[in-house]
Amino acid sequence: MEKLDPWASLDIKDYDKLMKEFGIESFKPLLNKFPKQNFYFTRGIIFGHKDFQRILDAIKNKKEFVMMTGLMPSGKFHFGHKLVADQMIYYQELGAECYIAVADIESYLTRGISLEEAKKIAIDEYLINYIALGLKPKNTKFYFQSNGSKAYMNLSKLISNKTTFNEVSAIFGDISPAKLVSALTQVADILHPQLKEHGGPKPVVVPVGADQLPHINFTRDIAYKMSREYGFILPSATFNMFIPGLQGGKMSSSNPLSYIALTDSPKEVETKIKKYAFSGGQATIEEHRKKGGSPDIDISYQYLRMFFEPDDRKLKKIYDDYKSGKLLTGELKQILIDKVNLFLKEHQKKRELAKKDIDKFMFKE
Ligand code: TRP
Smallest CA separation from ligand 1 atom 11, residue = 70
β-partners of residue 97 are 66
Q: Is the CB of 186 under 6 A from ligand 1?
A: yes
Rounded distance, CA 90 to CA 336, Å?
Answer: 24
Structure confidence at residue 77 (pLDDT): 94
| pLDDT value, residue 11 | 77
Would you tell me how many other CB atoms lie within 10 Å of the CB of residue 170? 14
Task: Determine the Cα–Cα distance for residues 143 and 189; give it in Å rounded to an integer.
Answer: 10
Residue 339: per-residue pLDDT: 98
Cβ of 72 closer than 6 Å to ligand 1, yes or no, is yes
Q: How far is the CA of 215 from the centre of ligand 1 (A)?
A: 8
Quickly count: other Cβ atoms within 10 Å of residue 305's Cβ: 20
Q: What is the pLDDT of residue 140?
A: 96
Lowest mean pLDDT among 19-23, 121-125, 126-130, 222-226: 19-23
Res 346: pLDDT: 98
The verdict on the CB of residue 206 being under 6 Å from ligand 1 is: yes
Dihedral angle computed from the Cα positions of residues 294, 300, 302 and 306, in that order, rounded to the nearest 10 degrees: -160
- C-beta separation of 170 from 125 below 8 A: no
**pLDDT tens digits along 221-254:** 999 999 999 999 999 999 999 999 999 988 888 8
Give the Cα-Cα-Cα angle 248, 250, 254 (nearest 5 degrees). 120
Q: What is the pLDDT of residue 320?
A: 98
Q: What was the pLDDT predicted at 3?
A: 77
In tens, the pLDDT along 256-285 reads 999 999 999 999 999 999 999 999 999 999
pLDDT score for 49: 98
CB-ligand 1 contact for 204 (6 Å cutoff): no
pLDDT of residue 20: 92
Phi, psi of 69 (to 5 degrees): -150, 175
pLDDT tens per residue across span 52-111: 999 999 999 999 999 999 999 988 999 999 999 999 999 999 999 999 999 999 999 999
Question: Which residue's CA is the closest to the ligand 1 atom numbered 3?
Answer: 72
Mean pLDDT of 120-142: 97
pLDDT the model gives residue 88: 98
Average pLDDT, the chain: 95
CB 52 within 8 A of CB 236: yes
pLDDT single digits (tens) 281-324: 999 999 999 999 999 999 999 999 999 999 999 999 999 999 99
pLDDT tens by residue, 151-160? 999 999 999 9
The secondary structure element, H or E, covering residue 244 is none
Q: Is the pLDDT of residue 1 over 60?
A: no
Q: 236 alpha carbon to ligand 1 midpoint, in Å?
A: 14
Q: Tell how far the Cα of 320 is from the centroid of ligand 1, in angstroms.
A: 38
- Read off the pLDDT of residues 28-60 as tens digits, 9 standing for 90 and up: 999 999 999 999 999 999 999 999 999 999 999
Reported confidence tier of residue 208, pLDDT bands at 50, 70, 90: very high
Any ligand 1 atom below 6 A from CB of 190: yes
Q: 70 CA distance to ligand 1 centroid (A)?
A: 4
Tell me how far apart the alpha carbons of residues 83 and 357 are, in angstroms, rounded to a whole number.
22
Q: Backbone phi, then psi, for 234, in 5-degree steps?
A: -60, 125
pTM for the whole structure: 0.95
Alpha helix locations (H) across 36-78? 39-42, 53-60
Mean pLDDT over residues 204-213, rounded?
Answer: 96
Q: How far is the CA of 69 from the centre of ligand 1 (A)?
A: 6
Which ligand 1 atom minimizes the distance to the CA of 209?
15
Give the closest residue (by CA) to ligand 1 atom 8. 70
For the Cβ of 97 lying below 6 angstroms from any atom of ligand 1, the answer is no
**Distance from Cα 72 to the centre of ligand 1, integer Å:** 6
Residue 69 in contact with ligand 1 by CB distance below 6 A = yes
Which ligand 1 atom sits closest to the C-alpha of 215?
A: 1
10 — pLDDT class (breaks 50, 70, 90): confident
Answer whether 109 contacts ligand 1 (Cβ < 6 A). no
Rounded Cα gap, residues 103 and 106, in angstroms: 5
Distance 18 CA to ligand 1 centre (A): 19
Give the nearest ligand 1 atom to 185 CA.
Answer: 9
Q: Please tell me the distance from the alpha carbon of residue 63 to that of residue 58, in angstroms, as a whole number.
A: 5
Angle separating helix axes 329-354 and 312-324, nearest 10 degrees: 150
- Alpha carbon separation from 124 to 121, 131, 263, 352 (Å, rounded): 5, 11, 11, 11
66-71 and 46-50 strand pairing: unpaired
Least confident of 2-11, 109-118, 198-207: 2-11
Of the chain, the percentage scoring pLDDT greater than 70 comes to: 99
Around 241, how many Cα atoms within 13 Å sit in the side-chain half-sphere?
21
Query: Are the C-beta atoms of 133 and 86 separated by less than 8 Å?
Result: yes
Q: Does ligand 1 have an atom closer than 6 angstroms to the CB of 292?
A: no
